[in-house]
Structure 1
Amino acid sequence: MISTNEYFDGNVKSLGYKTSTGNSTVGVMEAGDYEFGTSTHETMIIIEGEMTVKLPGDSVWATYKAGESFEIDANEKFQVKVSAQTAYLCQYK
């Protein structure tokens, strides 16, 4: 079954689904600044647009563009800035 997720007053929306390798979501973020928390390990793949991200333990922000990815361990928080609508795929382990 496909699940629908909505965060930050509708500025981040995603569809959740299951594959043979685990759970994933595909979604879009509106321009803005966000802080997310993880409950499992996540791999975030940028599909279109770009995200500027501050990962746990990092003191600098890094920008990821379409085709690039980053990983976050379980039980962590990370910050994201997007300047235009950005599409992503998030895979959970």
Structure 2
Amino acid sequence: MIQVNEYFDGAVKSLGYTSEQGKSSIGVIEEGEYEFGTSSKETMQVIEGELIALLSGESEWKSYTNGQSFDVPANSSFKVRASRQSSYLCKYE
């Protein structure tokens, strides 16, 4: 079953699903800055556009573009900036 997720008054939307490799979601982020919390380890891969992330415990924002990814530990939070509409694939462990 596909799960529809909507955050920040519709500025971030994703479709969640489960495959043979586990749980994932694929989504789109509108221009803006957002903070997310995690309950499990997440790997965020940028499909199109650019996400600028500030990971928990880090002091520097880092840019990720098409095909690049970053890991977020379980039970933490991270901030993401998008300067334009961008898409991502998030895999949960």
Q: Which residue of 1 aligns with 2:56?
A: 56
Which structure 2 segments of 5+ residues have no match? none
- Aligned residue for 2:78, secondary structure, equals strand
- RMSD, matched Cα: 0.4
- Aligned residue for 1:67, secondary structure, equals coil
Q: Which residue of 1 aligns with 2:79?
A: 79
- Aligned residue for 2:74, secondary structure, equals coil
Alignment: residue pair count: 93
Q: CA separation in 2, counterparts of 1:77 and 1:4?
A: 21
Q: CA separation in 2, counterparts of 1:82 and 1:15?
A: 19
Q: CA separation in 2, counterparts of 1:77 and 1:67?
A: 22
Residue 14 of structure 1 aligns to which amino acid in structure 2? S
Moved over 4 A (4+): none
Q: CA separation in 1, counterparts of 2:8 and 2:39?
A: 18
The TM-score with structure 2 as length reference comes to 0.99
Which structure 1 segments of 5+ residues have no match? none
Residue 48 of structure 1 aligns to which amino acid in structure 2? E
Per-residue CA deviations over 1:32-80 (Å, capped at 9, x if unaligned) read 0000000000000000000110001111000000100000010001000
